[in-house]
Amino acid sequence: MDTQWPRWEVFKQDTPHKPHQAVGSVHAADPEHALLTARNVFARRPQAVSMWVARAEDIYAWTKEEIAQSQLLQAEHDRAYSPPSSPRKYLVFRKTSHKRSMTFVDHVGEVEARTPEEALAQAQTTFTDAEALAWWVVPADKVYQTDPSPDTIESWFAPAKDKTYKQQQFYATVGSHISKHKLGRGVEDDECC
């Protein structure tokens, strides 16, 4: 029996006017649990106002190279496959730079489509302001968000503002340079730092 909990991708929004960005993943039993663990892992210190989670298996992802290679194949696939008739909403995420290390794709908007492939095609023609290195599309009803109420923002995200990262040097007795300790143990703080 597989005892692993499913993997969820986590999207964090830093301020109300920034997009949700993929910041990493958590393992969790269900959507609420995923949001709780995501908050602990990704928003204890950095700024945040909202988080989304989606199960990794509900995310359809393509890199630029994969799209280039699969275009012919995809055309075949589309002909053979008859999509469900009613369109649904997909959230679209895009990666535009290799330079960023802490985030992967950014939320760029929504499209209405009958299949993930159709959503990708629409995304490619809709969001053209920058070159896409990778696309993610996720059915909107598979994305779970933190409660947007002020109470939740206050208890989930506001305390982080008072918790700054401390460099090792902050703890002078632990992190000060070795040369400061040449006089040996028991040196007074004002002399050694």
Partner 1 sequence: MTSAVKEALIAKLTALADDEVILAHRNSEWTGHGPILEEDIALANIVQDELGHATLWFGLRQQLDGSDPDRLAFFRDANEYRCCELVELPKGDWAFTMLRQYLFDLYEALWLEAARHSSYPPLADAVQKIIREERFHLQHTQAWVERLGQGTEESNRRLQQALDMQWGYAQQLFVPIPGEELLVAEGIVPDLARVKEGWLEHSTRHLQNAGLKLPINPGYQPTSRTYHTEHLWSILAEMQSTARWDAEAKVW
Q: Which of 47, 64, 158, 170 binds partner 1 (CB under 8 A)?
A: 158
CA atoms within 13 A on the CB side of 101: 0
Q: Which of 162, 164, 167, 168 binds partner 1 (CB under 8 A)?
A: 162
Cβ proximity to partner 1, 80 vs 174, nearer residue: 174
Q: Is 33 in the site for partner 1 (CB under 8 A)?
A: yes
Q: Is 189 in the site for partner 1 (CB under 8 A)?
A: yes
Cβ partners under 8 Å of residue 23, min gap 6 = 10, 11, 12, 42, 102, 103, 104
- Min dist CB 42 to partner 1, Å, is 10
Distance from C-alpha of 126 to C-alpha of 128, rounded to nearest angstrom: 6
Distance from C-alpha of 185 to C-alpha of 187, rounded to nearest angstrom: 6
Q: Which of 63, 69, 155, 169 binds partner 1 (CB under 8 A)?
A: 155
Cβ partners under 8 Å of residue 162, min gap 6 = none
Q: Which of 166, 168, 174, 177 binds partner 1 (CB under 8 A)?
A: 174
Distance from C-alpha of 32 to C-alpha of 133, rounded to nearest angstrom: 31
Q: Which of 62, 104, 136, 156 binds partner 1 (CB under 8 A)?
A: 156
Distance from C-alpha of 120 to C-alpha of 62, rounded to nearest angstrom: 9
Interface with partner 1 (CB under 8 A): 5, 26-30, 32-33, 36-37, 39-41, 44, 151, 154-156, 158-159, 162, 173-174, 176, 181, 185-189, 192
